[in-house]
């Protein structure tokens, strides 16, 4: 965190109530963005432009208010990681550029930013049938990029679902892979578990992989990571509570598990189970997203415990040591399924976005709620995108000017494209200084 980010946030707070619309809107008092830019197509290609699931972020904002967006272009044979940047907070955009060479398969592109550094990760099969986690970094707000390096380390073992977090010089990357776990009978179990590698020097060097999830003979996947001053928060979907193994039944029951490190990712404390479906009728719980600011940690996920997927939220005010009771963020009476939430935080401003589809929706919709008091109270649900075909997988970040940067996949043009909207609040609370 640089002084520039704190200064810009203070400026945003002083600029509150700057228009008649702001003074007239009750949403300003609870932190919801009041004005949103028109939807803008950032990809505009004939091949599918996709972001995958929401275990990590496809958009990040650095201290200079530069917005970084990544996605997978093509995904299958010849696919690559695409990148676009806005140096003015999402008002205008530089031309796009590829950050990876075409590969047999490319997916899971995610991004994080802090100070003037930006980091992009993805999983890719260069042609030998083994997916690896790759990373590129920029130390000049996306103007230039390092060569890619491979972070996953198990020989011959594919790695998937990377997520990345940055705080100051710290960078943390998590993923899941099925490296063999020796069993007493001489065989090996290859269910996936969660691993992390960390850097304390802006991604120049990396620690050896550390195991985050406990081996239990069931898959752990789609991890999401957040970090603040040496405290690392990891949440993932875990199948350990399903019996028998869901890979054989096809009817999986997952729960959300959380674990934190207080030494920069070198070691982790006890696992904490965050979701508890009714024992008589367990249902899937998927795709967590996590964000932190100071001691506040915000986690969201979607769960089908009542037969319809809903968005749920949990909060910790003491850096993950204890957790408040679970709250539903989506509409409890909506018959449509709510899916793939993403959460972002700056100071006490929190934004959650997700998408829904079902009998009450024509096509799909992107929805959002916001809080200005660190998740204590929330604005009403707002619809930010609708598509007759599909508008899935939104992801969100908040910049130092308080603007919410929202991107999602949209098919309104007859092809999977990456769309963007910028939401400006009336007032932005100044966050506590992290130094």
For the cut 50, the answer to whether the pLDDT of residue 427 exceeds it is yes
Q: What is d(CA 403, CA 423) in angstroms, rounded to the nearest whole number?
A: 5
Element (DSSP H or E) covering residue 319:
none
Inside any domain, residue 432? no
Give the CATH number of the domain where residue 288 resides.
2.120.10.10
Q: What is d(CA 108, CA 104) in angstroms, rounded to the nearest whole number?
A: 14
Give 22-63 pLDDT, tens digit per residue: 655 544 444 556 789 999 999 999 999 999 788 899 999 999
For the cut 90, the answer to whether the pLDDT of residue 78 exceeds it is no
For the cut 50, the answer to whether the pLDDT of residue 180 exceeds it is yes
Bin 43: left if φ > 0, else alpha if -120 < ψ < 50, else beta: alpha
pLDDT (mean) for 193-211: 98
For the cut 90, the answer to whether the pLDDT of residue 424 exceeds it is no
Q: What is d(CA 410, CA 420) in angstroms, rounded to the nearest whole number?
A: 10
Bin 115: left if φ > 0, else alpha if -120 < ψ < 50, else beta: left
Question: How many C-beta atoms surround the C-beta of residue 79 within 10 A?
Answer: 24
- Express as a percent the part of the chain with pLDDT over 70: 86
CA-based torsion, 125, 126, 129, 131: positive or negative: negative
Inside any domain, residue 431? no
For the cut 60, the answer to whether the pLDDT of residue 435 exceeds it is no
- Whether pTM > 0.95 for this model: the answer is no
Q: What is d(CA 120, CA 113) in angstroms, rounded to the nearest whole number?
A: 9
For the chain, the average pLDDT equals: 87
For the cut 60, the answer to whether the pLDDT of residue 3 exceeds it is no
Range of the domain at 370: 3-424
Inside any domain, residue 191? yes
Q: What is d(CA 395, CA 405) in angstroms, rounded to the nearest whole number?
A: 8
For the cut 80, the answer to whether the pLDDT of residue 4 exceeds it is no
pLDDT (mean) for 143-159: 96
* Lowest-pLDDT choice from 166-170, 249-253, 347-351, 390-394: 249-253
Inside any domain, residue 435? no
Inside any domain, residue 389? yes
Inside any domain, residue 434? no
pLDDT recorded at residue 1: 34
Model confidence at 243, pLDDT cuts 50, 70, 90, reads low
Give 285-331 pLDDT, tens digit per residue: 888 999 999 999 999 999 998 889 999 999 999 999 999 999 999 99
User: What token pair was written down for 307?
Assistant: 């037969």
> How far is the first Cα of the chain from the last one, in angstroms, to the nearest whole number?
8
Q: Are 229 and 168 in contact (CB under 8 A)?
A: yes
Q: How far is CA 163 from CA 94, 184, 192, 235, in A?
A: 25, 33, 15, 11
For the cut 50, the answer to whether the pLDDT of residue 12 exceeds it is no
Inside any domain, residue 430? no
pLDDT recorded at residue 325: 97
Inside any domain, residue 433? no
pLDDT recorded at residue 360: 73
pLDDT recorded at residue 5: 39
For the cut 60, the answer to whether the pLDDT of residue 16 exceeds it is no
Give me the number of domains the chain comprises: 1
Give 381-417 pLDDT, tens digit per residue: 999 988 766 678 999 999 988 899 999 999 888 889 9
């Amino acid at each position: 965190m640089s002084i520039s980010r704190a200064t810009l946030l203070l400026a945003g707070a002083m600029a509150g109530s700057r228009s008649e619309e702001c003074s007239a809107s009750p949403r300003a008092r609870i932190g919801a963005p009041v004005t949103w830019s028109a939807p803008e197509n950032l990809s505009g290609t004939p091949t599918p432009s996709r972001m995958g699931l929401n275990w990590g972020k496809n958009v990040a904002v650095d201290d200079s208010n530069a917005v970084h967006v990544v996605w997978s272009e093509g995904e299958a044979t010849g696919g690559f990681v695409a990148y676009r940047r806005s140096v003015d907070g999402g008002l205008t955009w530089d031309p796009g550029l590829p950050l990876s060479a075409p590969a047999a398969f490319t997916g899971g592109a995610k991004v994080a930013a802090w100070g003037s550094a930006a980091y992009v990760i993805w999983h890719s099969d260069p042609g030998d049938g083994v997916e690896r986690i790759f990373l590129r970094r920029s130390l000049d707000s996306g103007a230039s990029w390092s060569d890619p390096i491979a972070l996953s380390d198990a020989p011959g073992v594919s790695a998937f679902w990377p997520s990345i977090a940055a705080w100051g010089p710290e960078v943390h990357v998590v993923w899941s892979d099925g490296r063999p776990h020796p069993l007493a009978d001489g065989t090996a179990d290859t269910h996936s578990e969660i691993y992390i590698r960390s850097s304390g020097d802006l991604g120049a060097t990396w620690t050896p992989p550390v195991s985050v999830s406990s081996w239990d003979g069931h898959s752990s996947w789609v991890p999401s990571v957040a970090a603040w001053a040496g405290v690392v928060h990891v949440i993932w979907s875990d199948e350990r509570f399903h019996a028998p193994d869901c890979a054989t039944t096809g009817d999986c029951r997952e729960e959300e598990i959380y674990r934190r490190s207080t030494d920069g990712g070198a070691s982790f404390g006890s696992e904490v189970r965050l979701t508890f479906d009714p024992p008589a009728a367990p249902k899937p719980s998927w795709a967590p997203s996590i964000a932190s600011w100071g001691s506040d940690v915000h986690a969201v996920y979607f769960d089908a415990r009542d037969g319809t997927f809903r968005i749920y939220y949990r909060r910790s005010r003491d850096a993950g040591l204890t957790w408040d009771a679970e709250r539903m963020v989506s509409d409890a009476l909506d018959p449509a399924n709510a899916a793939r939430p993403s959460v972002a935080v700056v100071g006490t401003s929190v934004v959650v976005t997700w998408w829904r589809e079902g009998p009450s929706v024509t096509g799909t919709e992107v929805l959002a709620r916001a809080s200005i008091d660190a998740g204590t109270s929330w604005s009403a649900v707002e619809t930010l995108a609708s598509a007759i075909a599909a508008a899935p997988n939104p992801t969100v970040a908040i910049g130092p000017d308080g603007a919410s940067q929202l991107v999602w996949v949209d098919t309104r043009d007859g092809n999977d494209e990456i769309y963007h909207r910028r939401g400006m609040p009336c007032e932005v609370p100044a966050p506590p200084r992290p130094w």
